[in-house]
Amino acid sequence: MKKTGSFFSKHKIIIIAGVLILTVVIAGQKLLKKNETSDSTTVTTAKAVKGNISSSVEASGSIETANYLAVTTSVNGIVKKVYVQEGDVVVKGQKIMDITLNSDGEESRASAYSSYLSAKASLERAKSNLLTKESALMNAEKSFEKERENNSYQTEDERDSYKLAENAYLVAKSDYELQKEEITQAEVALNKALLSYQAQSPTIVAPDSGIIANILVVEGMDISNSLSERTSTTVASIRKEGTPIASLNISEVDINKVKVGQKVILTLNSIGDKQFTGKVAGIDKIGLTSSGVSNYPVIVKFDENSDMVLPNMGVDAEIITDEKSGVLIIPTSAIETTNNEKNVTLVKGDATEKVKVETGISSDKYTEITSGLSEGDIVQIKSLPTEGFTTSSGINNTNRNGGMPGGMGDFMR
């Protein structure tokens, strides 16, 4: 019997120990789960400080022009001689290269010259006809004046005679004015024909003064253009004085924030980390709609020229819509909005208090506080764990992309 009692006593101890272990495990799991849950939200604090802040609109686009002028030709033939090289300074009309025309090139040049002569003859005829119209107008005007002075308008024949003289004068005047318009059209046609003929010239000259930026052909290279479609080939480019111009696409949500004269910070992926500055020079308020999305082109002129900025390069831009210095700022994440009312959690020692605030402009991370807080107040920030992330500031007394006023220690607590 003692053995039996001892057996049950031992097993009773084992069961009790097992229950205790199970209880410890369950309690540990609950505690671990509680700790994991509590760690999912980290509460930090920040101090309200005085600093600089700017609000901006982000956009992308491309370089429209970088003051590069294309030198083109419509001829067909082989490059005979190139007289300039990259970096040379040229003046308008200076010879750049000669081309030996092939049969297509000769035919195209002859056709262009024929069109030029035809346009020139049309202009001469139009001028001659103007003299005839002018004489007819003078005669009609004299007859009308004479009729008006001598006609008593008493009989039907006299009234008819007056009306006929008046109509003849008006018709002659209309013919004269139409002939002057015909001369204008003939002059435009002649200028166009002359340009077409010059484009077929085997000698290519600089269309304007500047610096040769590049030469795209070498001696012996074949140049081929379509005679029917009148295509042209770019053989060189000339860089002129001036700064690049970019075209940005702004969404309908942001377009009313953009004004002419606002500062713009521009970056080009092809030029690495270098930043450029510029100003908004023009805004297209009509805009374009594609696939139901409206965008409004904005023209930005760079502040300085750069040989690295080339036409058609992609560009990202930040348009500064507002800037303030020496204002009270806190992280935007400290602000809670409920029923259109903005509040922050103010920390006073071990206690916290909800405080209503009014805000001004905001950057990507920070917000201006216009009322509700004072400099040095501590506010609470609820956010996800920040371990493994780098915090950067958009507010700075000297550099908009770096540090905080007085160091990060003055801001975050």
Compute CA distances 104 → 79, 98, 99, 107, 224, whole Å. Answer: 15, 16, 13, 5, 9
Q: How big is the CA angle at 405 (ends 404 and 409), to the nearest 5 degrees?
A: 65
Tokens of 35: 């700790």
| 3-state secondary structure at position 289 | strand
164 C-beta neighbours (distance < 10 Å), count: 13
Q: Where are the domains of the chain?
A: 42-53+325-410, 58-66+242-322, 68-238
Tokens of 382: 């609820």
Place of tokens 């915090």: 391
Interstrand relation of 210-215 and 222-223 (parallel, antiparallel or unpaired): unpaired
Find the helix or strand (DSSP H, E) in which 163 lies.
helix 156-199
CATH class for the domain made up of 42-53+325-410? mainly beta
Q: Of 240, 238, 315, give the one whose Cα is nearest residue 278.
A: 315
DSSP secondary structure letters along 34-64: HHHHHHTSEEEEEE-EEEEEEEEEEEEEEEE
Q: At what angle do helices 103-150 and 156-199 cross, to 10 degrees?
A: 160
Tokens of 24: 């410890």
How many residues are given for the chain?
Answer: 413
Domains 42-53+325-410 and 58-66+242-322 share a fold: no
> If 0-12 CB within 10 Å is exposed, 13-18 middle and 19+ buried, where does residue 261 land?
exposed
Cβ neighbours of residue 243 closer than 8 Å, sequence gap 6 or more: 67, 278, 301, 302, 303, 304, 305
DSSP secondary structure letters along 304-338: S--TT--TT-EEEEEEEEEEEEEEEEEEGGG-EEE
Tokens of 150: 């001598």
Task: Give the pLDDT of residue 2.
Answer: 47
CATH class for the domain made up of 58-66+242-322? mainly beta
The segments of the chain whose pLDDT lies below 50 read: 1-4, 7-8, 24-25, 32-40, 384-410, 413
> If 0-12 CB within 10 Å is exposed, 13-18 middle and 19+ buried, where does residue 20 land?
exposed
- Quote the CA–CA distance of 270 and 307 in Å, as a whole number: 13
What percentage of the chain carries pLDDT values higher than 70? 82
Place of tokens 């009312």: 341
> If 0-12 CB within 10 Å is exposed, 13-18 middle and 19+ buried, where does residue 397 land?
middle
115 C-beta neighbours (distance < 10 Å), count: 17
Q: Of 315, 230, 311, 231, give the one whose Cα is nearest residue 269.
A: 315
Q: How many CA atoms lie within 13 A of 120 on its CB side?
A: 9
The whole-model pTM stands at: 0.55
Q: Of 59, 49, 57, 46, give the one whose Cα is nearest residue 396.
A: 49
Task: Give the pLDDT of residue 20.
Answer: 56
